[in-house]
Amino acid sequence: MNQPSDDDSLFDHCPWLFAGQASDGQRAAQEERQKRLLGGPGEVRLGEDCFVAETAAVHPDVLHLGDRSYIAAHAYVTDTIRTGADCTVNPFTVVRGTVTLGDGVRIGAHSSLLGFNHGSAPDLPVHRQPVTSRGITVGDDVWIGSHVVVVDGVTIGDHCVIGAGAVVTKDLPAWSVAAGNPARRLRDRREPREPHGAKRPAGVEVAGERRGLSGVEVVGERRGLSGVEVAGERRGLSGVEVVGERRGLSGVEVVGERRGPSGPDAAQERRGQARPEALVEELRAFAAAAREQATELLDRSWRPDTGRYADRPGTEPTVRAHCDAVEIADLLLGDVPPHLPAPEHMERLRALQDPATGLIPEYGATAPLPGPAGVPDGAPAYHVLCVGYALDLLGSSFPHPVHAVRTTTAGRLVRHLGELPWTDRAWHAGAWVDSWATAAHWNLRAGGEAAAPGALEALFGWLHTHADPWTGMWGSPTREAGRLQMVNGHYRLTRGSFAQFGLPVPYPERVVDTVLDHARDPRHFAPGRENACNVLDVIHPLWLCARQTTHRSEEARSWAASQLTAALGRWTPGGGFAFGPTADGSGPGREPGLQGTEMWLAIVWLLADVVGVADALGYRPRGIHRPEPAPAERPV
């Protein structure tokens, strides 16, 4: 640098020089600057060796700045910002809304991370629209180039590099190199880069490649080594679109991959065609009818004689039925079930929890005893999910920690995981993991520890080391049911663990392969044989893995479209959805009820989102089947 170190603007614009070159007077001035922040109206925590430029406009509600992090000249920082260590907010950068950065995040000059949004409904001027915030999350070791914009709701995985000028509107998986408007994933950062001027291997042709220090843009990539061809990639908000896929023994050829937003004007050429307006109109009509009939179907399951909900007429009231009623009312009415005021719904559900164990019995049953590693089998295991999420939708929470899980040690947990029936009852094993991980999640949200020290880390360590790299599953196929147990177990396991905690699933490409192969099994997916569990347990893994990979995305979309059309035809006016047939006669069966309705409403949304038309429904699951990771903070 040419400026002398006694020029204060040097450090404002180049804070990395401050630690080694600042004078005593400049260090004292910086200390005063930080004292003013710490004494201000917001909640401010500053780590060791941080720097905040005097010219930066820093007006936070919450600011947690990790060690050796800095905010440079003329940055604009407001609202709720949390960073790890070694993070840099360079000159003229805007960071607003709810933004969480991992360790080692570098944000180039003139970039904007906008963790909030305004409504745009036509009935109000924009300046009167409500402000919403889903937040932005950036992982560890991420480089965001200059003039980048990251919009609300985006998660950027670890080790990503975002090229200059990109507009990031969709989540990016770990190790992505991305650029463009909207930003698209160009390659995996771990892929070897060819030296400048190096001769390409035979069979590889790249047309129109341009590279630079601050980003990478590849136009018209073609590869011939493994039988894969991709032309004209474009990415955006709601998923992946592949036009003209051809498959063979030696590889895959994909022409025209495209990602687009999930808004009403997005994805205009899904599956190589115009946006399926007939399907959009069918979804809108379905959603309107479901909303119109929601009170009627809830009335059908309300038992005035007991003051409780049953799944359907002629059945006994259950805890799950009450929770399903809360979920359905939230989806279709945007309100609580009309038979009780909201405080009464909350207090009834909260009163079910046993204060000694934190578990929830069925009506009329004694308090359940903890299992070997916390959660017992049976209805109490599912009640951890359904009661917890019903309370969450009501703006409340469990009154007590789930002590049965809170006291589980890592050793007990690992022993029990090894004893679960993965070989022939993987659904049962996965459901147990779902319940245990969800209980740990509620404990964390209550402000306590998930379990005994190291237990939650032991869970994810065990799952990572025991996933089959060939199938992406835990468990094995059986002669009687094929892949049914392992696929259904995968859904339950990943719902409560990886999806709920916002972590990538292991071996996503292999998961997609296994799930799509299973979806062709006529024992479970022939006409008239589909039920809510089996369809959900396919579409959720496909939806979840699509956030990490584009592998076989067109096949996934085609399957989702066919299932979506079939699902809409299962609606019973005034009654909702039936769960569907099961081979062993278990489950609610073919009569419409609350369980089937709650599950199929979520399934319809997931199917529609994979196809790219979920916006037509006008609802989005917020409970057990919410697509986003569950929030980390307790509701207030």
The residues assigned a catalytic role are: 118
Nearest to 162 by CA among 215, 226, 231: 215
Q: At what angle do helices 455-466 and 410-419 cross, to 10 degrees?
A: 30
Q: 542 near 560, Cβ under 8 Å?
A: yes
Measured in residues, the chain has a length of 636
State the Cα–Cα distance between residues 27 and 25, nearest whole angstrom: 5
CB neighbours of residue 194 within 10 Å: 14
Nearest to 323 by CA among 292, 353, 356, 365: 353
Q: 200 near 228, Cβ under 8 Å?
A: no
| Token pair in block for residue 88 | 């840099």
Amino acid at 230: V
CB neighbours of residue 112 within 10 Å: 17
Query: Which DSSP category does 128 fall into?
Result: G
Whose tokens are 């019973």? That residue is: 572
Q: Is 404 helix (H, G, I), strand (E, B) or coil?
A: helix
Number of separate helices (H) and strands (E) present in the chain: 17, 28
Largest CA distance in the chain: 85
Element (H, E) at 115: strand 112-115
Cα angle: 109, vertex 115, 118; to 5 degrees = 120
Q: Is 626 helix (H, G, I), strand (E, B) or coil?
A: coil
Q: 421 near 428, Cβ under 8 Å?
A: yes
Q: 540 near 495, Cβ under 8 Å?
A: yes
